[in-house]
Structure 1
Amino acid sequence: MDYDENMNVAGGRELARWLTGRPAGYEPSWNVKPTQPLPIAFTDHKSGDPRFEYAFWSLVPVWSKELKTRFPTFNARSETASEKASFKASVKSRRCIIPVTGFYEWTGPKSSRTPHAIFGPDPILPMAGLYSWWHEPDAGDDEGWHLTATILTRASAGILQTLHDRMPVFMSDELLADWLDPETEGDKLLLDAVSEASVPISEHLREYAVKPLRGDGSELIEPA
């Protein structure tokens, strides 16, 4: 599920600074998948201004020779991201928010999995993420740049414990400014703080089963 400009923004004026307008090429979606465009909000390193853009959903580190990795990078474990080669540079100063209206989780056997739609206490549910600018090796300095991103995860809490052992790290209002400030050096202490602050948010989530996800449209979030 994706960001909708017409919804009120949770987190007050601070988050609203980053969610002004819509990313270029915006199209609402209720079924975003890894490697597809994912809306992210972050602080521009050069100007210090808020930016709200689409990113390739799977973080590609700057040293990769191609726009893909040998292993999945659409999620990053908050417990180890500061130590992993693919993520540690982004933890340090390239952190972002992924603002969504909700997300899905699945239960049941692989042959017959049931999707569940999950929503937060406010219209916008901000998730903590990391981003990276990947540059095509043979492109010029001013072209061939790709914005890529990943969603941080942690051990599940609240109602999500009955659905999966992992959940996204939800962004708390209190830590938002530091998280999006590239001058705040990211480390495991910051990751742990953001992760723990997301637990109270998880206690206010709501979920319900929906029909198998086919195609894309608002009907996907109708109760089964």
Structure 2
Amino acid sequence: MCGRFIITDSAPDLAAMFDVEHEGENLPEPSWNVKPTEQIPIVLESMKSDPAVRRLESARWSLVPTFSPELNAAFATFNARAETVADKPTFRTALAKTRAIIPATGYYEWHTEGTTKTPYFVHSDDGLPLALAGLYSWWRNPALGNEDPARWVLTATILTGPAQGALAGIHDRMPVVLPEEWWDQWLNPHIPGDQELVDGALEASTEAAAGLAFYRVAPITGNAPELLEPVGPEVEVGYTA
């Protein structure tokens, strides 16, 4: 799963990395401890124009489908399981038409043994941001009038799949990390999203997952660069002990 992540790259850097044509307003500041329902930067391609315009926008991390009567769901929607996302009413419309990339400097994962949970920081071995496969949805607040700009809320979720390689020794799930050659295909709103597309993204993520490293960190509290300081040796890519 992916319940906390880090994004420290600036909006201009993300825009350059993902060939963004439009930067939205009120993009969130860097964070070393992003939590569900907080604002996150996402990359999407707007369906309102042809050709589509690639945008960097701020979204609430927890997808709310268009049919939901309220913003706060009864169950967690900050992650979507890649194996079943095409069948779930909460996510299948977004998969079909509104897919996103969620940039991340890395993410935290907890290894559980008995009652002990040990946090790890997972990141790319080259220091570049990860491109996590995601979905987005615009939720309309029925309590606000048509003239209120706050009536539309952009929300997003991160896809997860089975953990690969050495990461399986920490947790059985991990985010779907898209290689660069998959970015255009994943974001293109004119390509229908279905389980076949997700399965292809999962297969393609194997290469990106092989380039991840991780190390143990102290308990995750607060929000500061010190959260990334290792408390043990970094695990080499391919380490399986």
TM-score, normalised by the number of residues in structure 2? 0.85
Deviation at 1:140, TM superposition (A): 2.8
The answer on whether the counterparts of 1:23 and 1:39 sit within 8 Å (CA) in structure 2 is: no
| Structure 2 residue runs without a partner (length 5+) | 1-5, 232-241
2:129 corresponds to 1:124: yes
1:41 pairs with 40, 43, 54, which one?
43
Q: Who is 1:195 aligned against?
A: 202
Q: Who is 2:144 aligned against?
A: 139
1:53 pairs with 53, 57, 60, which one?
57
Q: Who is 1:65 aligned against?
A: 69
Q: Distance in 1 between matches of 2:72 and 2:119?
A: 27
2:33 partner amino acid: N
Deviation at 1:90, TM superposition (A): 0.4
1:125 partner amino acid: L
Q: Secondary structure at the match of 2:189?
A: coil
Q: Who is 1:16 aligned against?
A: 18
1:5 pairs with 4, 10, 24, which one?
10
Q: Who is 1:217 aligned against?
A: 224
The answer on whether the counterparts of 2:8 and 2:32 sit within 8 Å (CA) in structure 1 is: no
Q: Secondary structure at the match of 1:70?
A: coil
Q: Who is 2:111 aligned against?
A: 107
Higher alpha-carbon deviation: 112-121 or 129-138: 112-121
Q: Distance in 1 between matches of 2:12 and 2:211?
A: 19
Deviation at 1:141, TM superposition (A): 3.3
The answer on whether the counterparts of 1:116 and 1:207 sit within 8 Å (CA) in structure 2 is: yes
1:124 partner amino acid: P
Q: Secondary structure at the match of 2:181?
A: helix
The answer on whether the counterparts of 2:21 and 2:53 sit within 8 Å (CA) in structure 1 is: no
Q: Distance in 2 between matches of 1:6 and 1:83?
A: 34
Deviation at 1:148, TM superposition (A): 0.4
Deviation at 1:138, TM superposition (A): 2.6
TM-score, normalised by the number of residues in structure 1? 0.91
The answer on whether the counterparts of 1:3 and 1:39 sit within 8 Å (CA) in structure 2 is: no
Alpha-carbon distance change, 6 to 58 in structure 1, aligned in 2, over 3 angstroms: closer
2:62 partner amino acid: S
Alpha-carbon distance change, 53 to 37 in structure 1, aligned in 2, over 3 angstroms: same
Q: Distance in 1 between matches of 2:27 and 2:8?
A: 13
Q: Distance in 2 between matches of 1:146 and 1:30?
A: 24
Q: Distance in 1 between matches of 2:59 and 2:145?
A: 20
| Structure 1 residue runs without a partner (length 5+) | none
In the TM superposition, 1:146-165 aligns within 5 A as 146-165=153-172
